[in-house]
Structures are given as structure tokens and as C-alpha cells.
Amino acid sequence: MKKKISFSAQGQRADIGEMIIYRILPNRYADAVGPFVFLDHFAPIKDSPDQSRTKQGTGAHPHRGIATLTYVLKGEGEHFDSQGNHAKVYSGGIQWMKAGNGILHDERAIPDTQTGDPYMHGFQFWINLPSQVKKENPEYLTVDANEVPIANLEDNRGWLKVIVGQYKNLVSKIPTYTKQFLYHIQVNAGKTVSFPAEKGMEYAIFLPQHHATVNNTSFHAGDFIAFDTQEGTIEITNAPDTAADILLFGGEPYTEPIVAHGPFVMNSLLEIAEAYQDFHANKYGKINYQAEEHKNN
């Protein structure tokens, strides 16, 4: 039996400088899917020669209580933070940062200097942490494109990359604290793929650039599709003209209180107030851009 679709929605524009961004989650229907409380889609843009590197960065800003995950579909992502981490990933790579009890970070996007591809395209998720993990020290991890587990789907239907979690015997390097998954699926032209869904788990699909039919319902590029929590099957049928990229993600429901404000996701209003107090007291540290760039050169 196919899973019932609960609702679908389109993202809202939330641009940063020259970057075209669609905020997919939260939306007017849902605040979270499993532990995922935030999804920004950095729509594909072609680099402009007169665009300054500063404008392509988010600027130093704090986080607490979550892990951020940036998946660079195309381009080059550069990360700095107040724990002394500085790294780059290229097209197909992942950056994961556990904000834990507080950190400052900055991310910059430029075209992929390894391939020369002028386009930039990607996603950022916020993954809510259990209350005990919110108290832990920050951590940072990069996963290069060649380290992302990938499986070819049978009968030349396409492929699946495991960004977070596990698919059959493939396990992502990204740490998890609850049962969760994030798959990048490419469905070949005219093909159909299906995935079993566990009862009690939360599931959602995002269609970044292509139309597709999901459980017999047609959806458009940019659609976010959520399902009920009953057991069933998720079936995706692609149009006959080109391969389609699809994000399938979710996990077990987050059962603790969720209080989100700005860059902080905590379990109470008091903890939100403490997060701001610690930030204004400079307890998250400072990013030393020159030292970090020198250290990694």
C-alpha cells in the first residue's frame, strides 16, 4: 500500500546577497520532519565575474542546539568557525557542524575551482539535537564527494547517495544521535523507484529542479511533499525526458519540546535566552580568518 501524502508546499524566498535561496522547511504546515527543522535550497546560479567573495559568504553568525549540514551539489563550499576549523569541500561534498553548546561559523560559496564549473547549487539542513547533546562541545566534519556512499538502483533506474544515515549496507560518515536519513536520489528518465517506509517514522521529499509523480500524484519542481506516519511505500516516477534529482529525508519524531528563535534551536524559552546571553558575552569565541587560512595552506 502506498503512503498517504499529507500535504505539499513551495518554499519562500530568503535570499542572502546574490544567492537565490528558497526556505523549504519550516513552512506553514510543518516545523520539522524527524530531526530536520530547517531546509534552505540554494538555487543554481552562474558565477558573475564582478561578484565579490565577501558577498558570497553568509557572514560570521552563531548557532546552538543543532547540527548544520551543507550539501554542495555544485560549487565549492568553504567553512570557518570559532573552534579553529577551516575546510573546503567541492561538488558533491558535505560539511557537517555540531553547534552543541555554541559556536560561530561562516560559510562561503564559489564556483568549483577543481572542475571550472561556473554554477553553484546546494542545500543546508539544520538537524535538531537531543537535549543532552545540545550541551556538548562543538564538532566539525567534512565528507568529500568520493566518500559519500552510493548505490546503483536495479534495472538502470538511477542511483542513491546516502548523505545521512543508512541505506541497506551503506552508512554515511555523518554522526547521528537518533534514527534519521537523508538520501539524494537520481531517477533516470522514464523510470520508477519505490522505497518501503516504516510506521511511526516521518518522511518528506523535496524536488529541487524537476517534475515527478509521487504515489500517483503529479508534483512540480520546488515542491516539498510530506507523508503520514503509517507503514507503506513511497513510489517516484520520473518524466521521460531527463534524469531527476530528488531528496528523500526524515526519521523518528523529535519527542522533546522544540523552541526555535533565530539561529538557536533549544528546548525552552529560558535556554533561548541563555543562548543569546552567552553570544552577547562572547562565549562562542571568535573566528580568526587569517590564522585558519594560513594553517591550512
pLDDT band of residue 296 (cuts 50, 70, 90) is low
Domains of the chain, earliest start first: 7-295 (2.60.120.10)
List all residues 6 or more positions away from 215 whose beta carbon is below 8 Å from its beta carbon: 2, 3, 4, 5, 233, 234, 235
pTM of the model: 0.93
d(CA 270, CA 96): 27
pLDDT digits (tens, 9 = 90+) for 153-205: 999 999 999 999 999 999 999 999 999 999 999 999 999 999 999 999 999 99
Residue with the three cell numbers 534514527: 179
pLDDT digits (tens, 9 = 90+) for 59-97: 899 999 999 999 999 999 999 999 999 999 999 999 999
Average pLDDT on 212-227 reads 97
Over pLDDT 70: what percentage of the chain?
A: 94
d(CA 22, CA 247): 15
The rounded mean pLDDT for the chain is: 93
Over pLDDT 90: what percentage of the chain?
A: 83
Helices (H), the chain: 131-134, 269-280, 289-295
Provide the pLDDT for residue 55: 43
State the Cα angle at 60 between 59 and 65, rounded to 5°. Answer: 125
Provide the pLDDT for residue 17: 74
pLDDT band of residue 118 (cuts 50, 70, 90) is confident
Q: Can you tell me whether residue 274 is helix, strand or coil?
A: helix
HSE toward the beta carbon, residue 296, CA cutoff 13 A: 13
Q: What's the grid cell of residue 276?
A: 543569546
pLDDT at 53 over 80: no
